[in-house]
Structure 1
Amino acid sequence: MELGQPRQRMVLAALAANAGRLMTVDALVDRVWDDTPPDTARSTLYSHVSRVRRVLDDAARGEDGTADHPPLQLARVSGGYLLRAADDSIDLLRFRALVGRARGLRPDDAECGRLLADALDLWRGSPLADLPGAWAERTRTAWLNERLEAALQWARSEAATGHASQAIGRIRALSDEFPLAEPLAALLVRSLAQAGRTAEALDHYAEVRRRLADELGSVPGVELRTAYKEALRDRPLPGTGTEPGPASGGTRTAPSRPAQLPFDVRAFTGRKEQLDELSQHLLSSGEGTDATNTVVVSAVSGTAGVGKTALAVHWSHRVREQFPDGQLYADLRGYDTDEPVSAADVLTGFLVALGVPGPEIPLRPDDRSARYRTELSERRMLVVLDNASSSEQIRPLLPGATRCRTVVTSRDVLSSLVSLHGAHRLVLDVLPPADAVHLLSRLIGPRAAAEPQAAAVLAEQCGRLPLALRIAAELALARPASPLSALTAELDDRRSRLELLDSDDDPRAAVRAVFSWSYDRLPPEAAAAFRLLGLHPGPDVDAYAAAALCGRPVDETRRTLDLLARSHLIQPTRPGRYGMHDLLRVYAAWQAERHDGPADRETALDRLLTHYLAASCAAMDVLFPAERHLRPRIPVPRTELPPFPDEAHAKEWLAAEHAVLTAVTATEAGRGRAEHAVGLSTTLHRHFDSRGLFTDALVIHGNALRAARAAGDRRGEAEVRTCLGTTHRRLAQYDEAVRHHTESLALCRRIGLPVTEARNLTNLGVLHELRGQYREAAQRHGEAVVLFRKVGDIGGEADTLNNLGIVHELLDDYETSAEQHRQALALFRSLGHAFGEASALGNLGIVLSRLDQHATAAEHFEQALALFRRLGHRGGEAHALSNLGDAHHRLGHHQEAATRQRAALALFQRTGERYGETGSLNGLGEALHGSGQPDEAATAHRAALALAMEIEEKEEQARAHIGLARIHQDSDDLATARGHWQDALALYSAIGSPRAAGVSESLATLETRQQEDTHSPDCA
């Protein structure tokens, strides 16, 4: 039908968009004329409305001229106009109805996909395409977003039902229409990869990444990057048909199955109704129903010690077999005296437990949470979030997967979690009298049955709180000759005296009385240890740290810890480690304030932090003995350090104490001190770097930086910024790395720190080199060499010569490069610096390979590989394997080269070193091309190109273009080959690489061949 001029069509569009609802005259005027209506707007509007009504009436009449039930009726009502519409008369309404029905179905339900496909089929071009004005533009954008969301939902449904390949056409068309929609791009990348079209998937990723950079100045978000990495890792390896996995290059390892639940509770009693309620809400509901998958176990009136954790842990142990993919547990320490554990830190631990390599853990908390939900999306797991302080703390930790179940314990009722996320609240009160007495009977034995009245009184004196009941039972067992009635009389007297001491009405008075009763029975040394343990900033403690905190011998401290554990004042968390209930921690700190002066408490904390710093130095001395001189000078601890007879024990201690060391560095800033946090940051830097624990490193370095700045420690700030810069560089965050090194460099020059100044100079040189700025890199390294020699730092000099040799190799000055690497190698060997020796061997091997001494180069790479493996340095091992692969390729051993590159690639992917990953992908492409597998080789080079573009690594971009050029040239696709040669030439020219000359020569040869082919006569 003919709808007339644009303003008249605008009136109909506004009414249709609001079909079934009143549109006031003012609203219609605003939509038709935006903010600048003419004086005659209302009278003009009435004319438009009248014409629209006639158009609708004419359209509704049949051939006989009647229209009993017109699909659209425009009526004048009080205050405005109302367009009445039949259910199927407006496509927008039909579309929304279909999408709404689909949202009520599971994605793997075929009906879901059919409904969404029908909804998408209703679209014809762009809505309101020829209508002007701001309202039309806003509405058009909103409707297109609705369509995009429906398309994403449809594509996910197709993937869930195994029809991803059939959906590619429509997804590609939508992606062409919305070229910057990252969720759509991620779906297309995944669908292409699942269909075996990996090269197309990688090409599409590269194209979207280029568009984002050119049009928005941004980089792909976590969802698109994850899809890209999945395409790389899940594809069959070129030429093998197998999937990439660990260093062997074999099949992928099985998913991690964490089992993090704490020990089950001994003599758990009662709570049958609550256990049943948990099971009803978390187990009896099938997947895909409207039932909640989260239960909040909340104590009434904020009561602590009521047994929330015991209930959650006991129930979790009972049902653990129903969660075959494992159980995650975190104590969020919501009501400790220190700050609660952040969701970001918990997510890091969960992702590591789920098998995500440390370097792959996103830095932004939101991205980290998204990755966590992605990891859980296909698993059936139980997540226990214990002792939460608020809904905000736990919201990022909730799985998105409907197959997972979550139990949260908190003193808070967490109302927003219930109202916004549909969680079920289970309120836990004190034990009923009968259950409280029964628990005492199980713990004490026949004495409770012999004195039922006294047992009942004791239960009431403990407030029927399980924590207090267990402590009281232990005291009763420790005095077997005393009747229970004597104990209750004594406890009653103690409670009275405590109530006199407390001017406020503390609801925990009963608990404090029981604690005091138990505490006062402790020997003086044990009581002092209990008080000081309340000051410990971490989640748990071992005997060595406890001994340092208390200033006592380790053997004596072990006996004290055993006594406190038997008294239920601390509890075992892992073999040899102990934690403390937060209520007991508050009580211990209260007793410390009463009995230990501020100076004594500070001295105890100093002993503890010095212990952790000294133990960290000792562990690192075992792992990296040649770098002892770089570690901070600290006083010899008064107490014994844990033994580190070998590297395995050192690594085990560092892993066990990781959460504690993080808490220690966070504590320093609050004390206005920085020496321990800075010392731990600089001491542990090599450990984090060698293990690829870059996200963990940023947390500890960040804590140390805050402590240094709070304390005004400029030297510490300079040293920590150096560590931060190196860590950001390893994560390919070059701008952030430059910022930290530049700020540290300025501080060093201001206050006179020549060694740290030199370290920053050579690190800036490495960053220049990674960006293809070779002359600037050589200048920075040269300045660093001069400084290191001036202060006599042989290790620093060797490191910088090693870096300088790399730059001269890239400048094709091979003789100078080889000499610098040989000098570095000699210096490293004189120091017994195995890591430096391995690095210099590898770099020298690269130069020898450039000089066509490939067999000798391979020998150097083998030596480097053996050293890196002995050191457990996975990054170095990966580089050695990749270099060895390159050498075998040049020797003509293409299959061996491919095997080495696959092993290197798997290691780089596990450690998250993307620069190394690009090199191994290019090396794999070259090896496969050499063995006659051009298609598989092209896939590897395209993957390398996409990744190198993402991290702005120009050298490997050029290498990928050269590899693709050679493949296309061999297949006589000379036009495509020419394009890749030109791209490689442009990249080398941009960075001033002398290799541009060789590429220019290859390009000229190709162009000559093209001209000869053009002028060749046809053959008869």
Structure 2
Amino acid sequence: MGVEFRVLGDVELLVGGRRVDVGHARQRNVLLALLIDINRVVPADQIVERVWAGRPPQRARGALYNYVSRLRRIVAEGQDASIVRATGGYVLSVDPLAVDLYLFDDLIGRARATQDVDAAAGLFAQALELWRGDAFAAVDLPWLNSVRDAAAARRVAAELDRDDLELRRGRHHDLLPRLSAHATLRPLDERLAGQLMLALYRCGRQADALEHYQRTRSHLIGELGIDPGPSLRELHQQILAASPVLDVVPHDGRRHAPAVPQQLPAPSPSLTGRGEQLARLDAILVPEGTGPEADVVVISGTAGVGKTALAVQWARRVSAAFPDGQLYVNLRGFAPGGDAMDPAAAVRGFLRALGVPEDGVPVSLDAMVGLYRGLLAGKRVLVLLDNARDSEQVRSLLPGMTGCVTVITSRTQLAGLAVTHQARSLPLGLLSPGDARELLIGRLAGERPAPDPEVVTRIVDRCAGLPLALVIVAARAAYQPHLPLALLADELHEAQPLDALQTGDPVTDARAVFSWSYRALSPDSARLFRLLALHPGPDIGEGAAASLAGISPAAVRPLLASLSRANLLTVTAPGRYGLHDLLRAYGLELVAAFDADRHRAERRLMEHYAGTATAAVRLLDPGRPSPPADPPSAGVTVLPPADQPAALAWFAAEDANLQAAIAATHPGTDRQASQLASAMTTYLDWIGHWHDLVNTQLAILPALDRLADRPATANAHRDIGRTYAQLGRYAEAATHLGRALESYRDLADPVGQGRCHHSLGWMHQAQGDYRTALGHSELALELFRTAGNRLWQARELDAIGWLSLQLGEPDAALDGCGQALPLLRELGDRHGEAGTLDTLGLAHHRRGEHEEAIGHLDRALQIYHELGDRYSQAQVGLNLGDCHAACGRAELASRCWHAALESLRTLDQAGTENLRGRLAERCRDVALTNPHRHAGR
């Protein structure tokens, strides 16, 4: 039995002409996710992304497996279709012509290709009859919008081509009602307007034709600010003059078209993924409201990312949409020799391809461009301009009329064309890990046995998603079949990975390919590119880049923009930039050769991070002692955040960079790294990344030893000990806290000693030993009073109040916290204030004063939320839920407990098990008591 898939209307599956139920909407969406890429592996992650629109449930993979299993049985009824599992995903195997969307494209392509007018008309009619409504009707999936729009655009293009054909056949009377209806819906479509004007004129309605021209002109001027294009203006003049060229010319059933250029190069076998980009290219075929300029698309991306492969693949796929031919030229904008093609030479080549004899080619560039554009007028030609250097090189090669499409590939963004020609930008990024694996495995297929997945992962990681690098590795594996693939992976992980990507061919050697882009930079941009390779983190902000280069943020912005336009940097977020690993390796080679001051640059970078982090933590936690910041060196930019939310946002954006900077510290940056590590502890604690906190402090200990900085070393051991206690590793916590306490005594530092006792108290209360904990807190309070530190006195009063609660003394808790709260507010310690409000709320709750408790807890929760302390949010949420439950408000209590569980979702699992467990039990309506207290640092 034959199988048919219908999507040009309601989604339907037919087997033997009988409609088959494909299941509920989610299962149907899985089928669509496979159907759009028939006969190709669709990664499971991509299917999940498509089906659940970026919000997959926890067990999405399991649900997907069930859906696919059911669909496999349904589809298999047709015998000539199947769904099979492949590496990393699934494949729907079926004849493309069994899908009405692809059958439509095939029929339209055949209609445009045939020289038989009557046969073409029949093919157009057959294709357009497939449409039963809007494509994918009643399906609401965001990823499908581009596919739907592209299909609708191809439908409109087919209708216009059919109506052109019908006008040539003299069917203007039959066409008139349909053209009038369509023109009402698309008043800016000049091609449609021309068809209606011609039909009206041939039906003896010259005045109506002229009136429709004026109406179209008014729409274009009013909505787009432009006059009609040359073709429509010429038709208007011909109708005014009643020109005989508008009369129907009898035909013999054949279309006598001249030979058309077919210059597209062979497609690359390396194109993998890029489904989204191909769909966006499909959508340009018939844009809505086309103006007088030809459609122009710029595919930009870094060297080796596959721009040409994408452009050629798409051009060949849609070549039937351009019956008047396809023109191609490699402009050599970044060629090995550095000699970009002169625009005059490129236009001359196009003229010859369009049939102009050598002696008919004009001498001047302007005359050549005029002839070239005149030859393309009224035609549908695809122009592919490959490897353009800049906007100026391509302007002369752009057709001047609608109906043609120009696709340009370049390593730069050619932003000027967006201004002068409304060019659309299609940036091409690196491959996803899944697509990179598919590309590598596909190129290795047949060359050697199935590769070890772990080795493939190592190669994919080191090639950074760059298709050129993956293809080079596959080529080396092919011409060195006895070389184990693991050895190639080892080479890539060595200090100079670009050595493993040498081919001896300047066109394909990765280092050489990168060099062409680098040589095109200005000296200042080139220097910044080299220095950016020194940055150890995944991305960089403007302040860090300015410090690295030793210039101001205002001076660095245009340089970053130029590197971004050259696709040597990727914009990861507004004001933030990324450099992929292979370009970083190339930049490091250049730094070693050209930049003797690299260590000064690294020190400036670390000063920027340390200075800004110190300013940020002083806003977040004013009670945390921090060493006085050194005045910034010349060329260093320090950007103190404006307030606490800005400080949190800065730490969140820079977290990975700060940890990488500390891991990369060396004797020249020890002092700045120690300041940075100290400043990071509050943020990492509040967001519950306790393993990162411990690792950061352990990593800085060798630097502190080199500096012989005893106070900072004591602080680090205290932070490590406090965090080990949070993680439940009490023996290690006691060791580090003991070392810190001994150092503080030697240093005669009462505040440091007090904070150690504070942390020891927290450790003992976490183990349920409240009496010992209270002893440490009382000793800490005396030390803080001796030192005259009012802030930590207030914080310790809160801690003593909390422990009093655990010992069944709520009145003592209210007394201590009542003394602490006004002092904390006076000193601006919002974190301490929130903790004290939490204690007060719980004390009132224990006394049965639930409404008073709720008021304190609501305020504590609000402050913790503003500060971004997720663990403390969860603790207060538990207490608040208990209060609502005590008041009989079960729904409110459940809401509080569920929100508290959500606050813990991104925190380290270790250190939150106790609280997670209690909250989970509360959510199951089991009331427990004695909540665990999270004290401040």
Please give the TM-score of this superposition, normalised by the length of structure 1.
0.42
More helix by share: 1
